[in-house]
Amino acid sequence: MQLKADAARGDAPTWRTLPTLAKVGTVVIWAVFVVYAIVLLKLLLFSRPAGVEQRMNLIPFATISHYLFNDAATVQRFALGNVVGNIVAFAPLGVFLPLLRRRTGIWTNLLIVVCASVAVEVVQGVFGLGSSDIDDVILNTLGGLVGILFFTALRLILRRWSRVIAVVAALSLLVVPVFFYLLFVIRLQL
């Protein structure tokens, strides 16, 4: 009866009511999330020496429009990597948040993504750990929204919370080799 009440509210069942496979999946998701968070922090905050880049942009879409309307091939290659990279970097956060928080509210989870992105940009700006750009917040938020919508679609398709956990855990395990590729082949030197 409690599972039906939780489902009606959109909340996940409690740890005690989860099947064993879903509990294993939850542990896998937490482990992959920790790896994801470490990689993300390394990429965003610790991949450049402090004070090297002190650029700040507070004008929305200024950097994105510069990327779109610049003909230089090097700028376009960097632009694609930056735009796609910001979106892709925060999409997993949008998927993990509803699972880890056990709350499926789209707007609350999106607000957390926005706050995390703003926090990263503020730290980058204050400590000179990269360029601090409002466009990065916009792109990160878009990535988080993509992840949240993917989770929501998965939840609607699979219906049962335990199935969603199992699928996300399996997908997460498939993505771990990509993290290791980023760390060792591209030499990010964690």
pLDDT given at position 121: 93
Evaluate whether 76 touches 67 at the Cβ level (below 8 Å): yes
* pLDDT (tens digit per residue) in 54-95: 788 888 988 888 887 887 776 777 777 788 888 988 999 999
Mean pLDDT to the nearest integer, 16-23: 79
Distance from C-alpha of 96 to C-alpha of 9, rounded to nearest angstrom: 19
pLDDT given at position 70: 80
End-to-end distance of the chain based on CA atoms, in angstroms? 47
Give the confidence band of 131 by pLDDT, cuts at 50, 70, 90. confident
DSSP 16: G
Give pTM, 2 decimals: 0.82
Distance from C-alpha of 24 to C-alpha of 18, rounded to nearest angstrom: 10
- Residues 6+ away with beta carbon under 8 Å from 36: 92, 93, 96, 179
Domain boundaries, given as residue ranges, for the chain: 2-185
Backbone angles phi, psi at 71, to 5 degrees: -90, -10
